[in-house]
Structure 1
């Protein structure tokens, strides 16, 4: 991101050979200087920095990078420079850091799989009401039971909640609440502690909420808002996930919403 704006550079990065050489030099130099100055902290820092650098930029696998750095620690102990306790500490640190890196990678993959499944299932719905009901149910499952609200806008810019299974549609007054602010600005919003007079949540007992605009074909078509009865329920990372879900939802809603609005206009014209 540059100047707060997204750009396309380095989304797909080529793994080059020279970064491996650079990080191996860092590893070797760090180990050499730590031996000269008999500094265990420098030894640990050098191995950890090399491991992170190799994992981020080299062509080698995660296991290979771990093996290279662990081998450096073992060599330092075999040569009698450092104790086996230091080596065990380094190995534990590498495994912990590597485990967290794999955890976040797998978490991202699981989220993308969930979004793909979400898109596939809601796209099967033929009518707008069915799509809204299905999407609300699926997103509610993702949030462990929080309240989910999907609003759409008509051609005049008025927002309303479409009818869905078991609940009639309703208009949303222009009251300056969180949903209207998000719709007007086109930017996501979240608060860890709801101020009822300011945020005007849809759920009366909401303590925290996050909201993202729905865009399709360059038009603002509504808002996706999640509200929780628990304070501090959402984070900035959750808002980013909500934006992606809103993007997928928007392109499923748009054709059905357009058809519904056209049908209403034709009905009024016929009258």
Structure 2
């Protein structure tokens, strides 16, 4: 369970986060970049990203999709110590008790999520390069005839510590690593969390990374929340949006609609009268 409720990035901070992911000049760890990009571009949960396998991707024409299975064998590489205590399952799959990976909710199973290369930037109100499809094709070296040749890496799963798959802790560390290289101000991020009702004792000061960049308080689920809020910014019909987010209850998704509404430009109100 996360240490606090997920709070999406404000549209300006989301713009700053995407700027880092799409920059050719910012030096990013490829595994943490892949993790963060997948969270923001698909809204999948941390455990799902940790189990995502190259086999989950499919093409429809030239469009790339991620298929979330209702069940898959646990293909994460686990420590030798765990192999003596269970039948080769990671801790999350063992706790779920289904003998392998299953999504958190039944509504999450069977989703087919577009892997986008472009997004609507609500700061500029322009369609801009997002690059998730390009990154996935480079990282996973997909073998479909529609996939480009000469992929850069060719991993079956996202790597953490040189192993296939990752734990929930890695997901949040990845997001903070990207956030540190962005123009997201940790003080402003803290104020956003406080304004949204996060208790101060649940907000952490992560200091700075090795390059001296200050690290904002981000958790993996914040990017899922950002994905949901982005759908609301785009005026996506709630029922359809929920087929992509895997939410079971409309009232749960509605909080993201409210986040999007709260970002309305107050200066525009003056031009309404």
Is the TM-score greater than 0.5?
Answer: no
Higher relative contact order, structure no. (Cα contacts within 8 Å, ≥ 6 residues apart): 2
TM-score, with normalisation over the residues of structure 1? Answer: 0.23
Q: Whose helix fraction is larger, Structure 1's or Structure 2's?
A: 1
TM-score, with normalisation over the residues of structure 2? Answer: 0.23
In our comparison, the structure showing a higher alpha carbon Rg is 1
